[in-house]
Amino acid sequence: MKLFTTEDVKRDALEGQTLAVLGYGSQGRAHANNLRDSGYNVIIGARPGGPTAKAAEAAGFEVFDFAEATAKAQHISMLVPDMVQPAVFEQIKDHLQDGDTLLFAHGLNVHFGAIEPPKNIDVTMVAPKSPGDLVRRQYQEGRGVPCLRAVYQDASGEAAERALSYAHGLGGTHAGVLDTTFAEETETDLFGEQAVLCGGTAQLVMHGFDTLVEAGYQPEAAYFECLHELKLIVDLLYEGGLDKMYEFISDTAAYGDLVSGPRIIDDSVKARMKDVLTDIQDGTFAKAWMDEYAAGSNGYQAMLTKRRAHPIESTGSKLRDRMSWLAKKNKAQEAA
């Protein structure tokens, strides 16, 4: 495994180029500000008059519609949401010129064919492995978050170098840049979200909460045990893997982990994880999601509403209001 760091950036392959960041949401805001602070000429592409366009203007960026921003730049970062990217691509494709770079932070639309870039441009990916807010904060502290780099199409012969320079501009080379492919990034990212990070974890938390409440325990006690304390364990895993978790939890907790964990998450769960991965690999999930979005997202919104109505949410909201450190943070985020 080769991790590219600052020492591997031999030259600035983006020198003299104008960089257009399409979208000024979580990732777009972080990319644009980090790149500007790294000395690049950055402009923003956004829907005219929209809230993100106004936010970008307030931050001092020149803002254009997607097509004009693309025409003015040599390096274009597609950072609007996945569901919107195909429509935005239709607006910009005729403004892409020979030797331009079209960069993504996630490969879904290219990998599954919803976007088919012209052959005369570079198509690359730089995917920071963290939310945009952390990408920005780490950069401001003189550090960076790990990034993935991929080259889908190399028309210029410099696509890999350009992507590395871009990752360096984000601060990613301070933590390391790992080479991947559009297929690997897309499929592992979707699987991680669905099976472990979001889908798996949320479902496990809710089932744990329900099991305790249905057995007669207080919802508040169930919340503390099944959701609140999860952060303590995740922090240990994040900082030092399984080994650090076992070092810092009690022997009683460790023994319970070893004898009961496999009873809950057994081989049948792994088999269903493989089914989820198959749906991702063959495009079933991507098609279902794009069809759902195109139809107005009513099914998605109904599922989200039902999930938010789970009793763990009302219980947690009341308890978090009592936690001064969380209440202060949440109020600051709402104000922002």
Known binding positions: 24-27, 47, 52, 132, 189, 193, 225, 229, 250
**Rounded CA gap, 285 and 282, in Å?**
8
**Closest C-alpha among 210, 249, 205, 212 to residue 227:** 205
**Rounded CA gap, 291 and 46, in Å?**
24
Token couple for 204: 């496990």
- What is the per-residue DSSP string for 49-105? TSHHHHHHHHTT--EE-HHHHHHH-SEEEE-S-TTTHHHHHHHHGGG--TT-EEEES
Annotated binding site for NADP(+): 24-27, 47, 52, 132
Per annotation, catalytic residue among 75, 106, 168, 174: 106
Q: Are 217 and 209 within 8 A, CB to CB? A: no
* Residue 111 annotated to the active site: no
Annotated binding site for substrate: 250
Active-site amino acid positions: 106
